[in-house]
């Protein structure tokens, strides 16, 4: 992919990667190796964490559309080689946590996705994006569950 066109974002906006029947299946082993490497890379690149979690949900039955999403993440990484975590010395002495959730974002099971990030002294130290275990009946409940997950992170205990 050295000659590929770089992408502005790691995933298309409002993309729904559900199980697409009739789409061409791809090499499962290659797909799993690519996604596994992206999971490892997302430890220092929180900007790709959500898109990697989306493509990792299809490791059992990858299809052409899923591989295209993985290739888009790779094209985004080509455009942004200097991005990543940078820890700086600051005089701020506080811990901040931010949370959010979508409501019924998954088209296959209607579950919401929660996300949170935690800053210590102005530096990002933890983040997570995870599908909620239950279906929320409203956006307020989905956001409340995200807030509870963020509060329960190991850093804030």
pLDDT value, residue 15: 76
- Cβ atoms of 76 and 8 closer than 8 Å: yes
Residues 11, 39, single domain; the answer is yes
Residues 5, 76, single domain; the answer is yes
Outline where DSSP puts E strands in 36-146.
Answer: 95-101, 113-120, 123-131
Which residues are CB-contacts of 106 (< 8 A; sequence separation ≥ 6)?
A: 18, 112, 113, 131
Residues 30, 67, single domain; the answer is yes
pLDDT value, residue 21: 65
Which residues are CB-contacts of 43 (< 8 A; sequence separation ≥ 6)?
A: none
Residue 90 lies in a domain: no
Residues 101, 149, single domain; the answer is yes
Residues 75, 1, single domain; the answer is yes
Number of structural domains found in the chain: 2
Residue 89 lies in a domain: no
- In eight-state DSSP terms, residue 46 is G
Q: Containing domain of residue 126, as a range?
A: 95-156
pLDDT of the chain along its 157 residues, tens only?
888 999 999 998 877 777 766 688 899 999 999 999 999 998 888 899 889 988 998 999 899 999 999 999 999 999 998 888 778 888 988 988 888 888 777 767 778 888 888 888 888 888 877 777 777 767 777 776 677 776 666 555 5
Q: How far is CA 57 from CA 4, 109, 115, 148, in A?
A: 25, 12, 16, 23
Distance CA 100, CA 96 (A): 14
- The domain boundary, picked from 63, 84, 105, lies at 84
């Amino acid at each position: 992919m050295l000659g590929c066109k770089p992408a502005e974002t790691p995933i298309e906006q409002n993309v729904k990667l559900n199980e697409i029947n009739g789409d061409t299946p791809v090499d499962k082993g290659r797909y799993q190796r690519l996604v596994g490497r992206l999971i490892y890379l997302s430890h220092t690149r929180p900007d790709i964490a959500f898109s990697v979690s989306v493509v990792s949900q299809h490791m059992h039955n990858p299809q052409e559309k899923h591989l295209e999403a993985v290739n888009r993440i790779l094209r985004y990484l080509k455009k942004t080689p200097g991005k990543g975590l940078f820890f700086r010395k600051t005089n701020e002495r506080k811990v901040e946590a931010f949370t959010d959730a979508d409501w019924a974002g998954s088209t296959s099971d209607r579950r919401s996705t929660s996300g949170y990030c935690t800053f210590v002294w102005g530096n990002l130290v933890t983040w997570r994006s995870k599908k909620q275990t239950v279906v929320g009946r409203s956006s307020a409940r989905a956001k409340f569950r995200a807030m509870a997950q963020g509060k329960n992170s190991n850093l804030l205990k």
